[in-house]
Amino acid sequence: MVGNPKSMSDARFYMPFRSGFVCILGRPNAGKSTLLNALVGEKLAIISPKPQTTRNRIQGIINIPKSSFLSLAKKERPGARVNDGAQIVLIDTPGVHKPDSSLGRKMMVEVREALEGCDLVLLMMDVSHKVDPRDQFAIDLVKQSGMKVFLLLNKIDLIHNKSRLLPTIDESQKLYDFAEVIPISALKRKGLDTLLGLVIQALPAGPAYFPDDQFTDQPARFMAAEIVREQVLLNTKEEIPYATTVIVDSFEAGSRLTRIAATIYCEREGQKRIVVGKGGQMLKKIGSAARWQIERMLGTKVFLELYVKVQRGWRDSRAFVEELDWRRQLEHRMAAQATKRGLDANDAAD
């Protein structure tokens, strides 16, 4: 039995509740969203082999109860026996790149906003590739922030001769004064317990920021749009994945059935033809795969209506790109609802 931890004279035995914001950063395709999903244990972010899949920052909340924290903490602090648990707010971000469109610039704003005020940065690199100037761009960002950074060498499952990892670790240590260098495989869930233990150690004592049954801040409406976009990414090639976006036009949640209407926007007629496919076959394929995933997420049947429209050069339209931001969409809908309530109240008073 362990006594009241707070009265223990040896602080080694007691770890207070810890919490903080942890930003996952790295160039496109490093595996950031795969790591977010693996650590949270839910599919919060869409994933594809194509770079620049993630366009918004996405928060995933990990609650670590007292008991399970123990085994993680023990690895890092032998003898630790009592702890009060932890809450990690992980933030997945778009891949760091040099933007050449309004969409790209907005993605980089998302990265910078995620970095602001976070407690720790997890910089991810793909070990199956050599470090190149595109990695340097991400390193420069963390240098400017001056934050505590762990370097995650991801995709170690692709390195068959593990002795090849040692020179990579040595080399990477020259890039920045990383607090830790941790080899992982986000896909195969290798090294993630060690990573979690070290992350918790790096966080300050603090309160839970979210209720313990919440695992993301994203509304289901936005996640549904992302699931449709993921199917477009997985089923199309060349420039189409980059030239498409999805907006949910209506989302009516019921206890058994959710009705969703969404529009896939492309930049040109030719792209629209490919997304629709011969006799509408491609759109049907995208729709049924997306519907199945949304049903799993919501736990209801889903009636999904998809439309395809051309919005010429939308990636270069600042106004259109801003409208894609779900935080902004939410603000607009709340404002519209408040106006409607005001009008209804006036009608009732008349």
Helix (H, G, I), strand (E, B) or coil at 120: strand
Give the shortest CB-152-to-ligand GTP separation in angstroms: 10
Residue 299 binding partner per list ligand GTP, Mg ion, none, with a CB distance cut-off of 5 to 8 Å that depends on partner kind = none
Give the interface segment with ligand GTP, choosing from 2-10, 26-34, 197-205, 245-253 (CB under 6 A): 26-34
In the complex, least distance from residue 32 CB atom to ligand GTP, rounded to whole angstroms: 4
Decide whether 82 or 110 has the Cβ nearer to ligand GTP: 110
Q: Which stretch binds ligand GTP (CB under 6 A): 131-139, 153-161, 257-265, 295-303?
A: 153-161
Q: Closest distance between Mg ion and the C-beta of residue 33, in Å?
A: 3
Considering the rule CB under 6 A, would residue 32 count as an interface residue with ligand GTP? yes
Residue 33 or residue 216: which is nearer to Mg ion going by CB?
Answer: 33
Residues 6+ apart with CB under 8 A from 208: 17, 19, 63, 87
Beta bridge partners of 149: 121
Indicate which single residue of 19, 37, 52, 54 sits in contact with Mg ion (rule: CB under 5 A).
Answer: 54
Q: In what order do the strands lie in the sheet with 301-310?
A: 245-252, 257-266, 301-310
Neighbours of 331 (CB within 10 A): 11
When binding is defined by CB under 5 A, the residue of 33, 87, 172, 185 that contacts Mg ion is 33
Binders of Mg ion among residues 245 to 284 (CB under 5 A) are none
- Find the farthest-apart pair of alpha carbons in the chain and give their distance in angstroms, rounded: 80
Helix (H) or strand (E) holding 182: strand 180-183
Partner whose binding site includes residue 30, from ligand GTP, Mg ion, none (CB under 5 to 8 Å by kind) = ligand GTP
CB-wise, 48 or 317, nearer to ligand GTP? 48
Nearer to Mg ion, 6 or 98 (CB): 98
Least distance to ligand GTP from the beta carbon of 36, Å?
8
Q: Residue 51 binds which one of Mg ion, ligand GTP, none, with CB within 5 to 8 A depending on kind?
A: ligand GTP
Q: Does 30 help bind ligand GTP (rule: CB under 6 A)?
A: yes
**Residue 197 and residue 190: Cα distance in Å, rounded?**
13
Q: Which 3 state secondary structure label does DSSP give 83?
A: strand
Say how far apart CA 196 and CA 39 lie, in whole Å.
8
Contact of residue 84 among ligand GTP, Mg ion, none (CB under 5-8 Å per partner type):
none
User: Residue 18 in contact with residue 208, Cβ under 8 Å?
Assistant: no
Pattern 52-81, binding to ligand GTP, x per CB under 6 A?
xxx---------------------------
Q: Which of 5, 28, 206, 219 binds ligand GTP (CB under 6 A)?
A: 28
Write down the least CB distance from residue 32 to Mg ion, Å: 5
95 counts as binding ligand GTP under rule CB under 6 A:
yes
Nearer to ligand GTP, 49 or 211 (CB): 49
Would you give the DSSP letter of residue 280? Answer: G
The listed partner (Mg ion, ligand GTP, none) that binds 194, CB under 5 to 8 Å by sort, is none
- In 49-99, beta strands by DSSP E: 58-64, 82-83, 86-92
- Nearest alpha carbon to residue 86 among 96, 100, 76: 76
List alpha helices for the chain, DSSP H.
Answer: 32-40, 66-76, 102-115, 133-145, 165-173, 192-202, 220-235, 240-243, 269-276, 281-298, 318-323, 326-349
Residue matched to tokens 């300050």: 204
Distance CA 232, CA 240 (A): 8
Q: Could you list the residues that contact ligand GTP (CB under 6 A)?
A: 26, 28-34, 47-49, 51-54, 94-95, 154-155, 157-158, 185-187
Q: Could you list the residues that contact Mg ion (CB under 5 A)?
A: 32-33, 53-54
